[in-house]
Amino acid sequence: MAETLPGTGGRGHGLDLAMRGIVKRFPGVLANDHVDFDVRRGEIHTLLGENGAGKSTLMKILYGLYRPDAGEIRIDGEPVQIDSPRRAIELGIGMIHQHFMLVPTLTVAENVALGLASPKGPLLDLAPVARRIEELSEAYGLRVDPGAMVWQLSVGEQQRVEIIKALYRDAELLALDEPTAVLTPQEVEDLFVTLRAMAAEGHSLIFISHKLHEVLDISDRITVLRNGRLVGTVSSADATKAGLARMMVGREVVLEQVRAPVEVGPPRLEIFDVRARGDRGTEAVRGVSLQVRAGEILAIAGVSGNGQRELAEVVAGLREATGGRVLIDGSDVTGADPGQRRALGLAYIPEERMRDGAIGQFTVAENLMLHDFDRPPFARHGFLDFAEIERHCRRLVADFDVKTPSLDTTMKSLSGGNIQKAILARELSANPKVLVASQPTRGVDIGATEYIHRRLLDQRARGTATLLISEDLDEILALADRIAVMYEGEVMDVVDRADADVGRLGLLMAGVRDSGT
Amino acid sequence: MGEFFTSAVLVSTVASGLRLSTSYLFAAVGETFGQRSGVLNLGVDGIMLLGAFGAYYTVLNGGGLWLGMVVAITVGLVMGLAMAFTSVTLQAEQGISGIGFYLFGLGLSDLLFQKLVGTPLPIRGFPELRIPFLADLPVVGEMLFSHSIVVYAAFLLVPVAAFVLNRTTLGLKIRSVGENPEAADTLGVSVAGVRYLTVMTGSALAGLGGAALATELGIFQQNLTAGQGFIAVALVYFGAWRPVGVMAGSLLYGLVASVVLQLKTLGIIPRSASELAAMLPAVLTILALVVAVQRERQPAALTKPYERGA
Amino acid sequence: GGAGDEAGGGEGAAEQPFRIAVVAPSAINDLAFSQSIYDGLVAIQEEMGGPTKVELAVTDGTFVVEDAAAAIRDYAAQGYDLVIAHGSQYGTSLQEIAPDFPDVSFAWGTAGDTFGLPNVFAYEAASNQGGYVMGVMAAALSESGVVGIIGPIEVGDAKLYVDGFAAGVKAQDPTVDVTINYTGSFSDVALAAEAARAAIGAGADVLTGTAQMVVGAVGVAQEEGVLWFGTQADQTQLAPEIVVASQVYHWEVVLRDMIDLIQQGTLGGEAYVIDLANGGEEIAFNPGFDLPADVKQLGQDTIQGIIDGSIVVPAGG
Amino acid sequence: MGTLFPVAAVLAALVVGAVMLLLLGASPGEGFAAMIDGAFGGPRELADTVNKAVPLLLVGVGITIAFRANVINIGGEGQIVLGALTATALALALPDWPAVVLLPLGLAAGLVGGAVWGAVPGALKAYFGVNEILSTIMLNIVAVQGMNYLLRGPMIDPAEIESGSRIPQTMRLPPATDLPVLVPDTRLNLGAVIAVVAAVVVYVFLWRTTYGYRIRAVGLNPFASRYAGIDVKRSTVVALTLSGALCGLAGAILVFGSESHRMVTDGSTTGFTGSAGFNGIVAALFGGLHPIGTIPASFLFGALLVGANRLQRVTQVPSALVIALNGLVVVFVVSSAIWKRRLEQRAQLEAVQTGDQAAQTSLPGDVAPAAADPPGRDSGTDDG
Ligand SMILES: Nc1ncnc2c1ncn2[C@@H]1O[C@H](COP(=O)(O)OP(=O)(O)OP(=O)(O)O)[C@@H](O)[C@H]1O
Ligand SMILES: Nc1ncnc2c1ncn2[C@@H]1O[C@H](COP(=O)(O)OP(=O)(O)OP(=O)(O)O)[C@@H](O)[C@H]1O
Ligand SMILES: [Mg+2]
Ligand SMILES: [Mg+2]
């Protein structure tokens, strides 16, 4: 075991990385096609590209998780073979993966200590680990309790654990794959403070994000990939949002949607004093009352873990309300199952799309039919009518611009953006009266985000009452008519879009009630 | 019913329950290691049979009991290596390859027995080892402290296993690999290495369980285990993947079986109902789980092969 | 494949060996039920002049009844002279198969019924007789006044033996308690062992048991120093210190007769019983066991009584 | 192409078997000739092979349903026993009914018996969170003891009591329940047709009906299924119930098609089922967890078992060898699945390099044929 316990300190200051001519094929795709990529000491270098452009693949090659089919990696000028994460760690490379690599049933300290030698030989000794975690927390502003179980942590905290894991292993170069996708603005700010501190110490940093303002904010240089190929590397100082978007997508992208005024109708979704428990049994929603009217988008802002997800699930019928009532289009659905709610005109875009929204190994067609497979014309007398189903799905795929090789392609082999579009197609095809959209563009590239926003606004124009749950304030400000801020299971305040600004929302999200200045 | 509650009967019933639990316990604690790391080994019964035969044959040929145990462990390790190779390296469907190993062990142990031994000649097992002082205590002395060394070893294994799983760096790796192998992999933990280790350890313990059975009974016979290995696997689920829980399950199973035997011997259970009584351990095991309302989650990666980047 | 090199001389120059196939539920060296028939066949083979004269084919461990049926059919189709279905559970299959092969002789054991078919023999053991004899001795030997019996499931040969043994005990000394425990399995050795312990725990100082799983119980008896009576095969070698005697089956007594009949052209119809009188059953005393002379005498008297009819052993119930 | 791997795996297992034969002093050539002859040598042998395959097919198809719902049903043994018991009980209760009524009714009784024994672990899993591996293992034990109790007591042939022999078997069932023999002079009976029809019906059920869609959806993702309005718990119960029902049907056919036309026990489950509850799982896997694929898979597996029995009789090796060989075949077949997956992945990779988009089909192993897929075949690369 090469790694040792804390206190050894960094072995130097950062790494110079050069990846040359990297090629990686997967069944069906050329994920990296002769990509060149450099990172210098003390630099924050962003990788940018649409979903499926090959960013994560390049990073996984760097970390020894994938073997490149061709190409070379040099560190400080020396060619290196990185054939395992162990080797990458030895070389001083750390990685924050797009999907967190944590063991939920273990404590923070156990997660950090995993794979390291212990001073007590074969026996676990977590006390020094906890101490060192606290030191690192202190030094980089990464607050986290070493004794907490990981499954109890918020997403932001989990991310801090990931960073601590890398720092603990003396990572000189740290790659962060979409670290901000799940963070609140405040958490993003905190993260950036940490990253800048690390860069200032000489660490080399690779950053991946779909949010252009973040990219422009944090990066020194930006490298753009498209369809696995290198488009170019630009200095952040010379870059603009529109220019980057064009490099990524290969065309002009409308970054701001026009929110036309819409006639607001009667209340479609009414929530009265709803209470619900979270997964851990604690009260997560504590007496929330909201009304969403036809033609209106009501956004719920808030730091994740403040009851938004539970509230959305209560409305969708996936979580039992322990108190209060939910009405859809005037009918009380508090005790109804998801199917009954759907029949009354509810649609739902779940936050965890691969868990709640789609069946990965089912085909695109089967996924598009997930709610309607058992009703005519798609099924008769218990038998599926494939001709009818295919006709319907073809239309949806065309209408919603889902890019898939065929209707028989498995859902999981689509890109994140296209999976989201397929779910959107299914949910919006019934022209719902009420739409609950949870984090509809999380992790989705700007092209697809643009498209999804347009569809949500279209739906608003058609009289749908939309409850939008998002941690992305830009998204909220771009779409919402009114904004409710949730904090610790309660609605702090509901503000009109016109009166909302990032500062005021941020304070509310932090639990500071409006003093009415 | 009164005669059942005489202390002599109680003592022998409990002592018998402990002995009946012993071979389950070895096998089930071993299986716990494998399952905690994400590998289901349904071939335990076959491995037990081969281990039992290995130990029996060694002792019969004058190799001595300790060598017999070593042989059983070795047999278990070899079978474990094969099992790990199919489940970890070849990523075979574990529930089914396990049944294959079971049938293989069932057939091969019988074949070897018939070819090498033939007539089931008796061997002498470990002598009763009375623990000083404790064995002289009234009632509990006879119940708990007058057994052969294999019985103590099986029960000692429980805290050892719990310690390894919860207090060592290896245990941390095992738990991580069973919950989130990808995360362990990204920290340089060899997922395959850990799984080979646990499956081989588990199989070695299964072999030892078989050896315990053969030496305690002093005999080998076709299908000596009579399905104990399958029950051991079930007891891992019963024990919610914790050594102590597994021990509770083994004890429950063994004690119910011995109580039933005792009641039949005393004529309290009529002979016409003897099959119904034989159902009791199985039924009670299920009921205990239903009533105990423990919704322990299984290791998230259980039965799922891991391949980097898949 | 037919073995048998042309042995010169003898009566018939090109004489084919007599071909016997046996299908048995457990292993032929189980020191119990299946071994008893195999030993008998080997004895007959020796007696008739070795493998050139008698060819033996064995399919043992055939606990699946349908597989046994297939094997019986297959041996019959291959032209074996005598196909033995050594398991009472095979009988009803045999009943279907035998009429399809009128030229082949079949034997069904252990049972008393030939279904009225001309090409089926039946054979069984009056295992209650030996059981009774040993029960009598057990009662005489017991000091605690408790005798334990371990059985598999309460059927056939096992039940007959257990009932006979219990009757013998009671006949000798009605005050002796008999605990009977059918474990519910022919194969669960561990359970049989614990049943023996339970019996000992209940005070038994003499044990017996039947079927192949009792090897576990014998071990316990040896360990605890209580006495053991065996059946179906000589179990002395299992525990030389504590086995008093075993009831041994000599199926060759009836096999010899069957083969004679077959060679004379009678393919079945006879139902045989081996018992103490016809020498098919023998009480094999353990020469290494120091059996009190009076008890041995008691046993021998009982044997004699059964043979001459002065003692009638009840046949189960 | 992909089916070559299981076949190659069987051959590899047989090579190991050949070594074992040599060690036992038998000639592998003679042994394997006997095996082939015993399985395919003539109409009678073929009929035996088919009869052996019938319970494997039914169990395999049942297992497929459970597998698709993400439940491993290793309770096939007990479910077969239960089906046999209920079918037998019904036949005994209605001795005078005509065949046209009694036979289907008896088979239906078998279905019901097995279904109940499948529903129990299903309900325990869905509503009490009891793992099905635990419950099915335990229920197998309960079933065998129940069988012994019934065949020794309430259901025993009265003649056995009278004669005192007490063989644990029922009386001969009414001839109305004899499965009609299809080919004279063989034992090939209607069971084969029933099993094949059942396989086709299950195929249609799983991929053409809404209920099958539900079961597959629940198996792949219970969360999304729940949101789609599917009752996840009920679907789990239904899948295990159907799985058990097919095993129960196998049990009924084992009795009605048996040589002795009655139910007999030797005190163990295997003595009645011949391990079909386990071997059927292997046949299902061999058949790609697809009902139609399971048809040839069961036939081959049946041939293997029947052939191995003949091998034993001809070479006179201990029959334990047959069991060991059976196990080796299982291990080799499941282990070979990886090469099949690899091959399909490589085919996809090559298709990309040549720019052939059409080959980008679903991932192997899932074998979830969508509407257009021909039955019994993996979405192969050769028909793109
Ligand atoms: N393990 C894999 N097997 C097969 N194909 C893969 C695998 N991983 C990635 N791909 C494919 O490789 C391409 C690049 O994927 P990658 O994950 O690198 O994209 P990305 O740029 O990180 O996208 P995103 O922005 O959505 O995270 C995609 O087409 C994807 O479908
Ligand atoms: N095993 C795989 N086979 C095929 N494609 C895969 C595989 N794993 C990932 N992909 C594809 O790789 C791309 C990137 O996947 P990734 O895991 O990075 O998540 P994503 O699609 O970006 O979603 P999100 O950002 O919400 O996590 C996607 O197109 C995904 O569908
Ligand atoms: Mg990515
Ligand atoms: Mg993404």
Across the B:D interface, residue pairs with CB atoms under 8 Å apart total 147
List Cβ neighbours of B62 (8 Å cut-off, separation of 6 or more): none
Q: Tell me: do A162 and A33 sit in the same domain.
A: no
- In this structure, the residue with its CA closest to atom 10 of ligand 2 is A413
Predicted confidence at residue B3, as pLDDT, reads 63
List Cβ neighbours of A429 (8 Å cut-off, separation of 6 or more): A396, A399
| Cα-based angle A428, A431, A432 (whole degrees, multiple of 5) | 85
Binary contact (B187, A118; C-beta < 8 A): no
Distance CA A477, CA A475 (A): 5
| 3-state per-residue secondary structure call for A69-84 | CEEEEEECCEEECCCC
* Domain presence at residue B310: no
C176: pLDDT strictly greater than 80: yes
* Domain presence at residue A361: yes
C-alpha of A21 from chain center: 30
Are B142 and B19 in contact by the 8 Å Cβ rule? The answer is no
Q: Tell me: do A231 and A330 sit in the same domain.
A: no
* Domain presence at residue A3: no
Query: What pairs with residue A205 in β-bridges?
Result: A44, A174
Distance CA A118, CA A121 (A): 5
Q: Tell me: do A149 and A232 sit in the same domain.
A: no
Predicted confidence at residue B107, as pLDDT, reads 93
Q: pLDDT for C264-307, tens place per residue?
A: 999 999 999 999 999 999 999 999 999 999 999 999 999 999 99
Q: Which range (A76-90, A404-418, B290-304, D191-205) has the least confidence?
A: B290-304
Distance CA D254, CA D277 (A): 12
Q: Tell me: do A227 and A374 sit in the same domain.
A: no
pTM for the whole structure:
0.87
Are B27 and B293 in contact by the 8 Å Cβ rule? The answer is no
Ligand 1 nearest atom to the CA of residue A210, by list position: 25
Q: How far is the CA of A212 from the centre of ligand 4 (A)?
A: 14
Give percent of chain A with pLDDT exceeding 70: 96
- In this structure, the residue with its CA closest to atom 18 of ligand 2 is A56
Given A184, A213, A248, which residue is the final one in a domain?
A: A248
Q: Tell me: do A136 and A20 sit in the same domain.
A: no
B18: pLDDT strictly greater than 60: yes
CA distance D172 to chain C (A): 8
Predicted confidence at residue D2, as pLDDT, reads 59
Q: Which range (A252-266, A491-505, D12-26) has the least confidence?
A: A252-266
Give percent of chain B with pLDDT exceeding 90: 58
Predicted confidence at residue A351, as pLDDT, reads 87
Q: pLDDT for C219-255, tens place per residue?
A: 889 888 999 999 988 889 888 999 999 999 999 999 9
Q: Which two tokens stand for residue A511?
A: 């639990």
Q: Tell me: do A59 and A109 sit in the same domain.
A: no
B235: pLDDT strictly greater than 60: yes
Predicted confidence at residue D350, as pLDDT, reads 65
Q: Tell me: do A162 and A293 sit in the same domain.
A: no
Q: pLDDT for B238-256, tens place per residue?
A: 898 999 999 999 999 899 9
* Domain assignment of residue A118, given as a range: 105-169
Count of domains observed in chain A: 3
Q: Nearest-CA neighbor of A508 among A217, A275, A185, A274? A: A185
* Domain presence at residue B182: yes
Q: Phi, psi (5° rounding) for residue B226?
A: 50, 45
Distance CA A504, CA A512 (A): 9
Q: Nearest-CA neighbor of A130 among A90, A164, A170, A94? A: A164
Q: Tell me: do A311 and A413 sit in the same domain.
A: yes
* Domain presence at residue B259: yes
Q: Tell me: do A130 and A275 sit in the same domain.
A: no
Which sign, positive or negative, has the C-alpha torsion A258, A261, A262, A264? Answer: positive
Instruction: Calculate the alpha carbon distances from A368 to A429, A439, D229 in Å.
Output: 10, 20, 14
* Domain presence at residue B3: no
Predicted confidence at residue C213, as pLDDT, reads 83
Binary contact (D264, C111; C-beta < 8 A): no
Q: How far is the CA of A177 from the centre of ligand 3 (A)?
A: 7
Give the CATH number of the domain where residue B94 resides. 1.10.3470
Predicted confidence at residue A249, as pLDDT, reads 83
Predicted confidence at residue B278, as pLDDT, reads 83
Distance CA A79, CA A72 (A): 7
Count of domains observed in chain B: 1
A210: pLDDT strictly greater than 90: no
A6: pLDDT strictly greater than 70: no
Binary contact (C201, B262; C-beta < 8 A): yes
B294: pLDDT strictly greater than 90: no
Binary contact (B176, A106; C-beta < 8 A): yes
How high does pLDDT run on average in chain A?
88
Q: pLDDT for C45-61, tens place per residue?
A: 999 999 999 999 999 88
Mutation choice for ligand 2 from A415, A420, A449, CB with most ligand atoms inside 8 A: A415
Distance CA C270, CA C276 (A): 19
Predicted confidence at residue C59, as pLDDT, reads 93
C-alpha of C106 from chain center: 18
CA distance B249 to chain D (A): 12
* Domain presence at residue B306: no
Distance CA A299, CA A440 (A): 12
Predicted confidence at residue A251, as pLDDT, reads 78
Tell which phi-psi region holds residue A468, choosing left (phi > 0), alpha (psi between -120 and 50) or beta. Answer: beta
Predicted confidence at residue D351, as pLDDT, reads 57
Ligand 1 nearest atom to the CA of residue A225, by list position: 21
Ligand 1 nearest atom to the CA of residue A228, by list position: 14
The total of other beta-carbon atoms located within 10 Å of residue D342's CB is 12
Q: Which range (A431-445, C35-49, D348-362) has the least confidence?
A: D348-362
Q: Which two tokens stand for residue B124?
A: 């002498």
* Domain assignment of residue B109, given as a range: 16-295
List Cβ neighbours of A509 (8 Å cut-off, separation of 6 or more): A184, A185, A186, A301, A302, A303, A485, A487, A492
- The domain locations on chain D are 59-301
Q: Nearest-CA neighbor of A168 among A113, A215, A123? A: A113
Give the CATH number of the domain where residue A19 resides. 3.40.50.300
- As a whole number, mean pLDDT of residues A190-195 equals 89
Chains touching D (at least 3 CB pairs under 8 A) are A, B, C
Q: How far is the CA of A226 from the centre of ligand 1 (A)?
A: 12
Q: Which range (A208-222, B260-274, C24-38) has the least confidence?
A: B260-274
| Higher per-residue pLDDT: A465 or B296 | A465
Q: pLDDT for B152-183, tens place per residue?
A: 999 999 999 999 999 999 999 999 999 999 99
| Ligand 2 pocket residue status of A441, Cβ below 6 Å | no
Q: Which range (A23-27, B8-12, C43-47, D335-339) has the least confidence?
A: B8-12
* Domain presence at residue A406: yes
Given A248, A279, A302, which residue is the final one in a domain?
A: A248
Q: Which residues of chain D have pLDDT under 70?
A: 1-3, 348-384
Q: Which two tokens stand for residue A92?
A: 């001083």
Cβ neighbours of B279 in D, within 8 Å: 141-142, 145-146
- As a whole number, mean pLDDT of residues B40-54 equals 96
Binary contact (D266, C71; C-beta < 8 A): no
Instruction: Calculate the alpha carbon distances from A230 to A233, A250, D250, D355 in Å.
Output: 8, 13, 61, 20
- In this structure, the residue with its CA closest to atom 30 of ligand 1 is A52
Cβ neighbours of C202 in B, within 8 Å: 9, 265-266
